[in-house]
Every structure is written in structure tokens, then in C-alpha cells.
Amino acid sequence: MISLHTPITDKDITALRVGEKVSISGTIYTARDQAHIRLIEEKNPKFLLDGSVIFYVGPTPNRDGIPIGASGPTSSYRMDKLAVPLMERGLKLMIGKGDRSKEFQIEMIKNKAVYLIATGGAGALLSSRIKSSKIIMYDDLKSEAIRELEVEDFPCFVAYDIYGGSIFERENNNG
Amino acid sequence: MRKISLHEVTEKVKESVIKINYNLDQSLVALIQKAIQNEIKDLSKSILSDILENQEIAREGKVPLCQDTGVVVVFLEIGRDVFFDGDIYESINEGVRQGYSEGYLRKSIVNHPFNRVNTLDNTPAIIHTTIVPGNTLKLKITSKGGGSENMSKVTMLTPADGIEGVKKLVLDQILYAGGKPCPPIIVGIGIGGNLEKSALLAKESLMRDLDDESNDAIIAQLERDLYKEINALGVGPMGVGGETTCLAVKINYYPMHIASLPVAINIQCHSARHTEVII
């Protein structure tokens, strides 16, 4: 298992290989469809894109005394095109679920970024690794707002690495 | 004639949506436990273990199973010997409203295809009504997530396509869906009727018990065959490869036009949240 601390450097990226377990600690940001659409137009986002980690999630509301509700990944393919301008501005890791387009994979490699997956539907388990949460942009988007999360040992797997590998490739994949 | 209290309908819907979003069906948990034994790769085992650990954490009641607490779909069966004074659809929506607020569930419904403004209370629910004999009210309630719904589809095959045509359609769709609908999945299939009827059949098949099978011999055989063939695809848990792609295949059917063979495939993620209430 590889432990990563944010912000993510090019050196971190080159060490990641498909299928490896990764544990992330530090600051990561949430964004889904609508937040991406706005973020790519933003000249001065309220967080540094260079070296950043974006988690595709729209959490459930939190009860008093816990920082965040269920927080599992949403399907990443919907952000394929929207992720490109963000990677060009330094986005290094994306956390989601499911496979993505070939075009995305090519852009990702070009921009020296990596795509990670977390276990889909494990919203309660993943939320236990989130130590604090605060909305920093687009409050009106509710569950789709951009949140700054402090995470500790957040568990993921490398899905696409910069060497062209994919966790979804199978010997008997005739699809 | 028996009077049904609409207040009770609201209460039951509220309790149901909260209960299903925190408590995974134990028969599904048992299937996942069995699936872990059957997996070979550590990665696939590890994902299935996460799903088991996740439902234990959710059961404690502070955090739902999944952040996508879905759109509420209700199959409403109204006994013809009951009456109620008021709007039963509104009483169901009020239950959704209260349940999603009090249960700290995500409000995932937007009001318009393009404006996309959140309705803030997870309403409206999608309600399908039938009138049946008897003096009870039955509600089959599910919270259906968007990720698996997006990997669903309806196709109008021709009668000559037959069983092999249906099989190919289903297998192709599940390969195409890959890891996106959160496998291991439950595959709901509706065959027959027409365009919209097949979709309803597929959705309602997902309300069936995990261990039952169709009472039609040909359909039951197709359920068993597809279960094996889907798992042989090797998509695996979350699409990373493995032995467990589906946990069950359910097929409901209905008569159809001589020219048609409609087939709907409705995919359900492993977080299959549904229950049944009888009033």
C-alpha cells in the first residue's frame, strides 16, 4: 500500500501503478457535474488546483457531532470532458468509480494525473475517514457544492496510471 | 369498505425510507458473504469486504449506506374495498419529505431537465398505481440510485430474436455498464408488454425476494442461465474483475403484440434498498 499526503507531486504520480491500494491523508476537494461546469469557468477558485485531489461525491447531510454524512464516489465518466481543463491547471488525482473514456485516459496521461477508484456504495465506511468538512464554493448546489475535506487514510485503488494501465482491463473482456 | 388513514400512509413511507437507507437486507448480506469465499483475487475480495463493513457501520444509524439515497419509487396496490378522504399521492410525498429530512438522507431530485434546481425535499416520488381485489393497501417502496439507473435501457427486439436475442442484449449491456452501476448488481428484466410496460416490469422485478424464481418454467430457466452467463463475463466487484458480477437475475413478463418483443433491463446496485408495507 502507498501512503500519499496532499498536495500531490509529479514524483507521487510516477510511483503509482494500476491495482495498487492507496491511502490518502490531507486536504481534498469534492466536485460533481454542476460544480465542474462552474469551476472550469472560474479564474480564481478558492483552492489551489495545482497538486490537488478532487473526489467525485455528493454526501448526505451530517448529523450533529459528525463532520459529514455518507460519502461514497459517484460515476466518473460524467466528468470525463470536464476534467480536462482542470488537469491542465494542475489537478493531479481524481477519485470516483467506474471506467472512463479513452479520450479521458489520453488527456490524463498527457497531464501527468492519475485516476483512483474508491469502493462504490461504501458511503458509511468512507465517511469514517473524513475528519472535517466545509463548503468553500457554490453553496446553492447543496450536496453538489465544493467541500474542503480533511481526510486520514482515505482508501482508494489506482484505476488508471500514467503508463497506460487500467484496472478494468480483463483477459475475457470482449466488450 | 374500509377507511385507510392517509396519516398512517405518510408515517409508513417515512419509516420505510429511513429504514431501508440504513439497513441492508440480510439476505443480500448473506449472498455477499458467500461471494467473498468464491472470489480469487485479493482486490475483488477486498471490495466485497468493504461492502460488508459498510453495512455494519450504517446499521449503527448515524450515516446511510450510500450517499445516493435515490429517488423514491412506489408500487401502490389499492384494494378495491378501501377508501380514503384526500390525496393519497400527496400523503406518500409527505412521507418522503419527512423521511428524507428526519433521516438525514440526500435530496437528489431536480425540478427540470435543464434548469436543474433541487426541490430540496426529494419529492416528487414516482408512483405506479394498480387496483386489486381486497381491503388493504400495499406499498412496495424503493430508494433507487442514479448510477445504476443510468446503466439501464429499453430495446424493441423482434419476435425472431427470441431467447438468444434477449441473452445477447443483456450480456452486452452488462459489459458496457462495467463498474459504473456498482457491481455486484441485481439485474431486473422486463420482457413483453410494450415500450413503457417492459420498463415497469423490469423495475417491479427488482422488488422480488432475492431467493425466489419465476413461476414460469421457461423464464425461470432464463433467470438461471443469465445468472451464470453474467457472472462468467468477469466484470467483477466494482468492475475490477472477478467471479461476482451479479447477485441475482429477476425477469417479469407480460403478453405483447404479435410484432414485438420489448425488453427492458433495469440495473440495481448492490445497495438494493426496498421494502413492502401493507396497511
State how far the Cα of A60 lies from the Cα of A66, in Å rounded to an integer. 12
Closest to A115 measured CA to CA, from A25, A13, A5: A13
Nearest CB among A19, A60, A97 relative to B179 is that of A97
The grid coordinates listed for A95 are 477519485
**B116 and B12 part of one domain:** yes
Active site residue: A8, A31, A36, A138, which one? Answer: A36
Residue-wise pLDDT tens digits, B137-164: 999 999 999 999 999 999 999 999 999 9
* Number of domains composing chain B: 2
Residue-wise pLDDT tens digits, A44-53: 899 999 999 9
- A175 pLDDT above the threshold of 50: no
- Whose cell is 427470441? That residue is B162
Give the alpha-carbon dihedral of B1, B7, B11, B17, to 10 degrees. Answer: 80
State how far the Cα of B13 lies from the Cα of B137, in Å rounded to an integer. 12
DSSP state of B118: B
- Final residue belonging to a domain, choices B119, B144, B169: B144
- Chain B residues whose beta carbon lies within 8 Å of the beta carbon of residue A122: 50-51, 53-54, 66
Percent of chain B's residues with pLDDT above 70:
100
Q: What is the pLDDT of residue A174?
A: 39
- Final residue belonging to a domain, choices B144, B165, B193: B144
Q: What's the pTM value of the predicted model, to 2 decimals?
A: 0.94
**B151 and B112 part of one domain:** no
Distance from CA of A67 to the nearest CA of B (A): 11
**B108 and B184 part of one domain:** no
Mark whether A36 is an active-site residue. Answer: yes
**B217 and B165 part of one domain:** yes
3-state DSSP assignment of residue A1: coil
Tell me if A57 and B67 make a contact (CB, 8 A cut-off).
yes
Contact B235, B43 (CB under 8 A): no
- Final residue belonging to a domain, choices B103, B121, B144: B144
**B131 and B220 part of one domain:** no
* B55–A contact, CB cutoff 8 A: yes
Residue-wise pLDDT tens digits, B30-48: 999 999 999 999 999 999 9
Q: What is the pLDDT of residue A21?
A: 95
* A96–B contact, CB cutoff 8 A: no
Q: Evaluate whether residue B235 is within a structural domain.
A: yes
Q: Evaluate whether residue A85 is within a structural domain.
A: yes
Provide the CATH number for the domain around residue B99.
Answer: 3.30.360
**B92 and B113 part of one domain:** yes
Residue B166, H or E segment: helix B162-177
Q: Evaluate whether residue A166 is within a structural domain.
A: no
The burial of A140, by beta-carbon neighbours within 10 Å (0-12 exposed, 13-18 middle, 19 or more buried), is given as exposed
**B8 and B77 part of one domain:** yes
**B155 and B264 part of one domain:** yes
The grid coordinates listed for B41 are 483475487
Distance from CA of A175 to the nearest CA of B (A): 6
* A30–B contact, CB cutoff 8 A: no
Partner A, chain B 164-223, Cβ-Cβ below 8 Å: 172, 175-176, 178-180, 182
Partner A, chain B 107-146, Cβ-Cβ below 8 Å: 107-108, 116, 118, 120
Q: Evaluate whether residue B92 is within a structural domain.
A: yes
Q: Evaluate whether residue B123 is within a structural domain.
A: yes
3-state DSSP assignment of residue B174: helix
Q: Evaluate whether residue A174 is within a structural domain.
A: no
Mean pLDDT of A119-146: 96
* Enclosing domain of residue A98: 2-160
- A171 pLDDT above the threshold of 70: no
**B137 and B151 part of one domain:** no
Provide the CATH number for the domain around residue A52.
Answer: 3.20.130.10
**B139 and B9 part of one domain:** yes
Confidence tier at A173 by pLDDT (50, 70, 90)? very low
Round to the nearest angstrom and report the end-to-end CA distance of chain A.
30
Lowest mean pLDDT among A23-37, A157-171, B71-85, B223-237: A157-171
Q: Evaluate whether residue A46 is within a structural domain.
A: yes
**B186 and B122 part of one domain:** no
Residue-wise pLDDT tens digits, B213-270: 999 999 999 999 999 999 999 999 999 999 999 999 999 999 999 999 999 999 999 9
**B125 and B179 part of one domain:** no
State how far the Cα of B222 lies from the Cα of B216, in Å rounded to an integer. 10
Q: Evaluate whether residue A101 is within a structural domain.
A: yes
State how far the Cα of B218 lies from the Cα of B163, in Å rounded to an integer. 10
* Enclosing domain of residue B69: 2-20+65-144
* Number of domains composing chain A: 1
